[in-house]
Each structure stands twice: as C-alpha cells, then as structure tokens.
Structure 1
C-alpha cells in the first residue's frame, strides 16, 4: 500500500467539518493519559492488535498524540499521529455504527492540524487504504516508490 503526502499549509478550513460533527452531539478532543487503557481496549475490540500497540505509543507522547470522538461518554472513533514514525498519521478508525457521521474526516483534520502546530510542513499518511478519500478531503498526493514503505517485513500476529 502506498504512502501519501499532505501539504499542511494548504489544508482546507476545518470549521464546518467540526461543526457538522458537534451538531450531532459528538465531542472531538485529544485523549487524556488516564484514558489509555480505555482507548486501547476499544481499539483492540474494533480493530487490530497492531493498532493497540500504536495507540499505546501515542499515549506515551506529551501531549498525548491520540484524538478521540465520543458521544455520551462512549468512544466512536480515534486517530493518532507519530506512532509509526515522525510526521506520520495513523492508525485511525471509526466504529461501524458511527461511520458516515463525518468523524473520520474531523479526526483527520485534528491530526493534520496538530502536526502543523508541531512545526511540520508536510504530514505522511502511511499505508493508505482509502486513497480517494485522502485525495479529496485533504489534497493528499501519492509518494512515488512508497510501497511497501515502512511497513515492509511486518511480523505476523
């Protein structure tokens, strides 16, 4: 799977994206250190054990490099930065019942804006699945010769 590059100074305005999600009663925020076990367990239940490892790395950063979407104190989605490598986005996921609400897009922008605020000019989306989504939403472009990229020689399990 290819990697993609996002020009962080050319990101579209995110206010409408956040407002759409918040109007549904969904809270977007940076996860807190004392929630590590809760977020990691949720990710493990809905996604990959490898992602649990990356989420735990996100919680070792200061500030925490994991963002979550919640409603009524329940996690609906998450996104991390700088877990696989510096300047990298991901992993990210939205629970099945919450897909189509705009949470994925909002979490993507929260992460890209956090990378920009940290001083990065470009963000990397590694091992992209929904390529068209990232092209359309944040202008991501393919990084030539990036497959398999950093994800080569992954241990099974």
Structure 2
C-alpha cells in the first residue's frame, strides 16, 4: 500500500466535452512569456510553492503550454501541460474565491484540447488525490493501475528516496 495519497489518472483526448466561456468578462488564453514573473508570483503566493517550477517550465516551451484565466486583467487561475513530463497535464489552480464558477473546468478542457491539437491521444493527470471526482466527472478520467507516486515519474523526487 502506498504511503502517499492518490496516483496518476488517464484521460482519452479523442472525445472531450464541448465548452464555452459564457461569462464574457473572463478571458481564457495561452499565457504570454512576458507575463512570466506575474504568473509565477501568482502561483507561488496562492498554490503549492513547488508548482512554480513546473509552471515556469511550461511557460518557457515553444509554443507555451500554460493557459490562464483572467478577469479585467486579474489572474484567476492557470493550467499547464508537459511540465513534469511529456504527456502530463498539470498543475492546475484556481483562486479559492473563484472556485465554483466553472473556471477550473474551462482551463482543464482548453488545456486538454491543446494537448490533443499537439498530437496526444491521451493525457496523464499526475498525482491526483483531492480532485479525483472533478476529473472523473469532467473528463471521465480513471486511475492508472500501479500509478501511485512511488511508481510514476514522481519517484524521481528527492523526498521519495
């Protein structure tokens, strides 16, 4: 039995649900590298500090593999892919004050759509624990057999040794 909660999930990208931004004040777009400092500060201040490095990795790829949601110039959330490893979705984060407004769903679907456009058939959602039901409900994700952190790419982390 794993001493770490959760594991990797997988989602097929061939049949993603349709999405539409209904709140016209919310802008969903690929992050611009010139906004790197603001985005990294946002991630560091509001989410797990170690996500900052993964977000930076996704921002600096060409094309960038990070999407952001804004409202009137204010960052509300982000989602990335190919940050930890090729074919991996995440991290994703939405401000606590903005949750329940469909922003996480929009970011998830737009990012997975980009992965599909990039040529991926499946996405791995890395080290899922609390968000399991969100991924199951939104994109029919399922846990990968033996996908616990100590059996995945996360086994390379220093603290996993």
Question: Which runs of no fewer than 5 residues in structure 1 stay unpaired?
Answer: none
2:14 to 5, 9, 22: 9
Query: Following the alignment from structure 1 to structure 2, what is the Cα–Cα distance between the partners of residues 127 and 81?
Result: 14
Query: Following the alignment from structure 1 to structure 2, what is the Cα–Cα distance between the partners of residues 109 and 126?
Result: 16
1:76 is matched with 76
Give structure 1 regions of 4+ aligned residues with deviation exceeding 2 angstroms.
152-156
- Deviation string, structure 1 residues 10-67 (Cα, Å, up to 9, x no partner): 21222xxx333x34x1111111010011100110000122100011101111111110
Query: Following the alignment from structure 1 to structure 2, what is the Cα–Cα distance between the partners of residues 32 and 151?
Result: 28
What aligned pairs does 1:1-157 form with structure 2 within 5 A after superposition?
A: 1-14=6-19, 18-20=20-22, 22-23=23-24, 25-129=25-129, 130-148=131-149, 149-152=152-155, 154-155=157-158
Please report how far the alpha carbon of residue 97 of structure 1 lies from its aligned counterpart in structure 2 after TM superposition: 1.0
TM-score of the superposition, structure 1-length normalised? 0.92
Question: Which runs of no fewer than 5 residues in structure 2 stay unpaired?
Answer: 1-5
Query: Following the alignment from structure 2 to structure 1, what is the Cα–Cα distance between the partners of residues 32 and 94?
Result: 18
CA RMSD of aligned residues (A): 1.2
Cα pair 1:80 1:111 within 8 Å, conserved: yes
- Deviation string, structure 1 residues 47-89 (Cα, Å, up to 9, x no partner): 1221000111011111111100001101000010100000110
Of Structure 1 and Structure 2, the greater helix share is in 1
Cα pair 1:79 1:111 within 8 Å, conserved: yes
Please report how far the alpha carbon of residue 153 of structure 1 lies from its aligned counterpart in structure 2 after TM superposition: 5.1
TM-score of the superposition, structure 2-length normalised? 0.89
Cα pair 1:11 1:139 within 8 Å, conserved: no
Task: Give the secondary-structure state (helix, strand or coil) at the position aligned to 1:41.
Answer: helix
